Amino acid sequence: MIKLNKVKKEGFGYRFFKFLSDRFHDNIFYRKVKYTGIENIVPGKPTLFGPNHQNALMDAMGILASRRKADPVFLARSDIFSSDLLGNLFVSMKILPVYRIRDGKDKLEKNEEIFNLSVEILEMNKDLVIFPEAQHTEFRSILQLKKGLMRVAFHTAEKNNFEIDLQIIPAGIYYKNYTNYRSQLLVNYGKPISINKYKEQYLENKQAALLAFRNDLREAIIPLAIHIQHKEFYDVYENSRQLFDYEVASIKNLKLNNMVDKFNIDKKIIKTLDEAKVKQPEKFEIITKKIADYFEKLKQNKLKDYLFDKKVSFIGNFLMSLLWIVLLPLSIFSWINFAIPILTPELLVKKFKDTQFHSSVRYVVALFLPFVWSLVGVALLWIFVNIWWVTLIYFVVQYPLLVTWLELRKQFKKITGKWRYIFKAKKVTQLKIERKGIIDLFNDLYE
């Protein structure tokens, strides 16, 4: 039996998990993490978060890590609660199940207990997180919102005669890369929406108020996230975020290595293409075909577009290659030390066809397995060497070694990519001409 009420308690296990997860999330799994709009969250008030949902568990981890001093409760799809053991584990991690029609009509009645618990959590002035799209998507797009979040909000307000100061915080989660280690993450929090805004409409027509609230929340989330609305041109829009970002950054004096700037650059690129599709359909058709053709040629030649933004130097890459070779013994040692923790998630992700689960699997395994593996290594070192300071040093350098290996692996891919770029000079020259033509077309649209 799953003991749902335990979600309101904060045991040592949860405290340890949150402490470890918050720091692992911000400092190891991701290279850079940025949270904006934190000032919109008023401490001590019941707060209901409504983020977009594009990367399975990692979306929840991003919200959790941003709330260092809070203990948010999450509502998640019920199929992960496949047994009482798992169910109670998730509840202890402050996750509650939500049942859908696909789970069976007989289970929908259980949502009443979940909703009541959600209300109690908000009445305790705690954080509650509900992903209003109710499913994650592989596209950088905001789906139509479901009614679950709205029902919880109105249920809470109605129970308290609309005298509770419930704040609904829209949020947008933006990943530079969904699946890779050492990527970058941005979480944007928007201005709070007060449930009391809909009081009169709700008392007059509950369904109309629910729909109005749902539309307002979606409109509030869209500016905080990347929203590619034209799915038939999705790949073109995705590739455009790489192709034109350096150009827009130069024009607007923004920095690509700044996640907030990169997010704003992406928004400008998407807006430019959206407007061109409506106002200049012929030019839009031409540029989309050229972009698709250009990226197909990049794929055939195993080249990346970012290599064309700055000059790739033979000497510079040669020196980077030498540095990598010098650091190779450290990389090998790190690999030997972490072979099992590194290989295990890579074997597990192959079982998931939905690539949006890949980073979640990597995160969960990499959060716990290296830690446990380090303890085993420390124990063995203590048994066979029995020198306390050697054992202590070994333990302290474990996660820095893991980060070092991940960074060296990433640098190896960049170095080999640059060598391909250098040795395919003739093809690169042709692609440069083609690329400049596409950027000139974009600049015409942008102006």
CATH number, residue 215 = 3.40.1130.10
Task: Kindly state whether residue 445 falls inside one of the protein's structural domains.
Answer: no
Average pLDDT over residues 417-443: 96
User: Do the domain assignments include residue 255?
Assistant: yes
- Phi and psi dihedrals of 312, rounded to 5? -100, 115
Largest pairwise CA distance in the chain:
76
285 secondary structure, DSSP code: H
For 39, other C-beta atoms within 10 Å of its C-beta total 7
For the ranges 15-29, 182-196, 258-272, 333-347, the lowest mean pLDDT is seen at: 333-347
Domain boundary among 300, 324, 352: 300
| 53 and 159 within one domain | yes
Non-local (6+) Cβ contacts of 329 within 8 A are: none
Indicate if 124 and 42 belong to the same structural domain. Answer: yes
Residue 363 tokens read as: 């995160």
Check whether residue 143 and residue 277 sit in a common domain: no
What does each C-alpha distance from 268 to 216, 219, 271, 433 come to in angstroms?
Answer: 22, 17, 5, 24
Residue at which a domain ends, from 178, 206, 224: 224
| Average pLDDT in the chain | 91
Residues 217 and 258 in one domain: no
- Domain termination residue (choose one: 189, 204, 224): 224
278 domain-assigned: yes
Q: CB-based contacts of 118: which residues, under 8 Å, 6+ apart?
A: 73, 75, 96, 128, 130, 152, 155, 156
Both 109 and 55 in a single domain?
A: yes
Let me know if residue 442 belongs to a domain: no
Spell out where 242-305 has E strands: none
Percent of the chain with pLDDT over 70: 98
Residue 146 in domain: yes
CA 188, distance to chain mean position in Å, is 11
Q: Among 152-166, 208-222, 234-248, 351-365, which is the least confidently predicted range?
A: 351-365
- Residue 174 near residue 226 (C-beta atoms within 8 A): yes
The helix/strand/coil state of 69 is coil
Q: Tell me the two tokens of residue 40.
A: 């919109």
Q: Are residues 336 and 289 in the same domain?
A: no
Burial zone of 77 (CB within 10 Å; 0-12 exposed, 13-18 middle, 19+ buried): middle
C-alpha–C-alpha distance, residues 40 and 188, integer Å: 10
The boundaries of the domain holding residue 49 are 4-224
pTM for the model stands at: 0.91
The closest of 42, 95, 37, 40 to 64, measured between CA atoms, is: 95
CA distance to 92, 108, 166, per residue, from 80 (Å)? 14, 16, 29
Range 345-367 average pLDDT = 86
Q: Same domain for 37 and 184?
A: yes
With 90 as the cut, is the pLDDT of residue 90 above it? no
Same-domain pairing of 86 and 145:
yes
At 101, is the pLDDT very low, low, confident or very high (cuts 50, 70, 90)? low
Shared domain for 210 and 83, answered yes or no, is yes
Q: Look-up: residue for tokens 């109005």?
A: 212
429 part of a folded domain? no
Residue 382 falls inside a structural domain: yes
Check pLDDT > 70 for residue 87. yes
Residue 102: pLDDT band with limits 50, 70, 90: low
What's residue 386's pLDDT? 82
Total domain count, the chain: 3
pLDDT at 53: 94
Question: Is 278 in the same domain as 341?
Answer: no
Axis crossing angle, helix 328-349 with helix 358-384, rounded to the nearest 10: 130
Residue 213 lies in a domain: yes
**Domain shared by 19 and 131, yes or no:** yes
Tokens representing 318 are 């040669």
Per-residue confidence (pLDDT) for residue 106, from 0 to 100: 65
Say if residues 46 and 157 touch (Cβ distance below 8 Å). no
Q: Based on the fold, state whether residues 203 and 56 are members of the same structural domain.
A: yes
